[in-house]
Amino acid sequence: MALITVRFYSLWRSYLGTDSSALQADDIQDALSQLETEFGPRLREKLETAGVHLDGKIQDYSLILLNGISLRNIKSTALKEGDVLHIFPPAIGG
């Protein structure tokens, strides 16, 4: 079990009303699961209020980095004390 920090950016920060949260997790899946439980419903409710309907969990429509590396590039699911998850929606317009 490791104590990690989750940092929210962009629209997620605005809609969740916080820029970070701390949680104890066994591994990445556990962290994402806790994140979904604690923040998922609130985020989707805010999005719905803004007229944005998104299906699925936070992780399905977010970019997530662990210590500055995309989760898509990370093979080990282990977490260590002090790890930081960065979470934000993809913004790809120009």
Name the site residues for another protein (rule: CB under 8 A).
7, 9-11, 13-14, 19, 50-52, 63, 65, 67-73, 86, 88-94
Q: Residue 3 or residue 69: which is nearer to another protein going by CB? A: 69
C-alpha dist (Å) from residue 62 to 36, 51, 81: 12, 18, 23
Q: Dihedral sign, CA of 13, 18, 19, 21?
A: negative
Distance in Å, CB of 74 to another protein, minimum: 9
Give the 3-state secondary structure of residue 46: helix
Quote the CA–CA distance of 16 and 27 in Å, as a whole number.
Answer: 23
Distance in Å, CB of 14 to another protein, minimum: 5
Q: Residue 22 or residue 92: which is nearer to another protein going by CB? A: 92
Distance in Å, CB of 23 to another protein, minimum: 19
Distance in Å, CB of 86 to another protein, minimum: 5
Cβ neighbors of 29 (< 8 A, separation 6 or more) are 77
Q: Residue 1 or residue 48: which is nearer to another protein going by CB? A: 48
